[in-house]
Amino acid sequence: MTRYKEKMVTRHEPTDPKADQEIKALIDRILSVDDASATHTTSQTDTGTPGAQALDNGVTNHNEFDGDQFELAQRHALRRVAGLSTELEDVTEVEYRQLRLEHVVLAGLWTDGTVTEAEHSLRELAALASTAGSTVLDGIIQRRHAPDPATYLGRGKARQLADVVYEHGADTVIVDTELAPSQRRGLEDVVGVKVIDRTALILDIFAQHAQSKEGKAQVELAQLEYLLPRLRGWGESMSRQAGGQAAGGAGIGSRGPGETKIELDRRRIRDRMSKLRRDIKHMKNARLTKRARRRRNQVPSVAIAGYTNAGKSSVLNRLTKAGVLVENALFATLDPTVRAAETEDGVAYTLTDTVGFVRQLPTQLVEAFRSTLEEVDEADLIVHVVDASHPEPEAQIEAVHRVFAETEIQDVRELLVFNKADLADPLVLARLRRRYPNAIISSATTGEGIEELQQAIAQALPRPSLHMDLLVPYTHGDVVHQLHSDETEILAETYEPEGTAMTVLVYPEDKDRYLSYVR
């Protein structure tokens, strides 16, 4: 993605020179990553990022397991270009579905923790802004104990932010947290351009990447929940519907103050949200039916979960050759993908690629995607994919576990997989091996650790455990046929005059089917 290569001008207060120098170096590092990315193609893989906060500087590196990637080509058909204006001479560009990039300035608050943690947070915000299709021009960080209730940054720092916006000609400010409606209005009044927060940015990315009907409905519901308390109105928006003769002479029952336009908008939003909830509930029933069919056929389920851009889709492609979309972008895939897989000894199971998580995942999205996250809760095993090249992989694990707790996902066996080992620091890998001795170190790009991962999944899958010695009469051939299915494991089989003698392992819940044949 093209970015401006302007030198960053860092605005800071002279109260703490050492902290100011740390902030300036921090933002310069973030901008240098953005500038380096400008020299490469916009098509990047999900498997080549140095961390969840920043996108990879390398080129596209798909392999044969990723398939044709038609969905990625379709997404890039809506290509965003820098410098495109709305002047008449650029109308032909619009005909080629090219959109103007938003020029943004980032704003963050450093309240506690180290400068490294502040850098990781703002770098992730820059990656989110880039994924949404914007050009990051500059950034600013305010060091203070608590957010200002009026402008979030404080009046003085907000004025400095306005200077940065004016200097670079930016049209949007992105703040690295969820703003209260009053804080957003106060900051917009000072900087004079559009202000969006981290939550709105993530919702915008979800809206761009949702493909299925259910995914689009879930994102729309989350957006409306976010928008409802933030509606603003003035002028005609605050005027009321008139009664009496002004209402067309409807007479008794039509008089009175009536609704303002903003009240009408709120009512329509609530009605739309109610309809979306009903639609999502009906879609959930269809998914429950498919899940029940798999359960009835005793097909184990494995869910791939983890931080966004950790390489979950790449791992799925490696294990099943599913050919799902792989892109070096945050939240590249939203809709769950279910694919059939099989262990080396012939046990069939399903692999489900779920939506990625992120630090400070909006509560609206957690609630809207609760039905999708049930795929994780109903799984027999969670393959938790972590980006080993991330500066703080432990923080990724903590963020994912926090979302699990919010969605009440519990009592599901978890297998940690540290992906992107080919990009990770060997010292970091050694530390992770010591701290998580049962985890798998792998790389979906090179294939390292994939065979070990397959073996670990096979060992963790639920298997028939109840030992039974059966004698099935020859007239009950259907029972023998059923025992040869994937639901049982045959240890021995001989043919006797009275029937077929079988020593089998079955699931405990299937015991009653075969009790009459026990010898």
Please say if the pLDDT value at position 171 is more than 60. yes
Closest CA relative to residue 369, chosen from 213, 203, 222, 269: 222
Q: CA–CA separation, 53 vs 44, rounded Å?
A: 15
Q: Could you tell me the sign of the dihedral formed by the alpha carbons of 55, 56, 57, 58, in that order?
A: negative
Please say if the pLDDT value at position 220 is more than 50. yes
Residue with tokens 């390398």: 58
Type of residue found at 487: E
pLDDT digits 0-9 by tens, 304-317: 888 888 888 888 88
Type of residue found at 475: T
Please say if the pLDDT value at position 112 is more than 50. yes
Residue with tokens 């897989």: 341
Six-digit token pair at 325? 């979309």
CA distances, 516 to each of 11, 235, 276, 291 (Å)? 81, 80, 50, 30
pLDDT band at 123 (very low <50, low <70, confident <90, very high): confident
Non-local (6+) Cβ contacts of 244 within 8 A are 250, 251, 254, 255
pLDDT digits 0-9 by tens, 268-325: 889 999 999 888 888 877 767 766 666 666 678 888 888 888 888 888 888 887 666 6
* Full 3-state SS string of 328-379: CCCCCCCCCEEEEEECCCCCEEEEEECCCECCCCCHHHHHHCHHHHHHHHCC
Please say if the pLDDT value at position 416 is more than 90. yes
Q: What letter does residue 216 receive in the DSSP assignment? A: H
Six-digit token pair at 353? 């690629």
Closest CA relative to residue 115, chosen from 21, 7, 16: 21
Please say if the pLDDT value at position 368 is more than 80. no
pLDDT digits 0-9 by tens, 188-212: 999 988 898 888 888 888 888 777 7
How large a percentage of the chain has pLDDT more than 70?
70
Instruction: Set out the domains of the chain in order of their start, with CATH numbers.
Output: 17-209 (3.40.50.11060), 213-279 (no CATH), 299-460 (3.40.50.300), 466-517 (3.30.70)
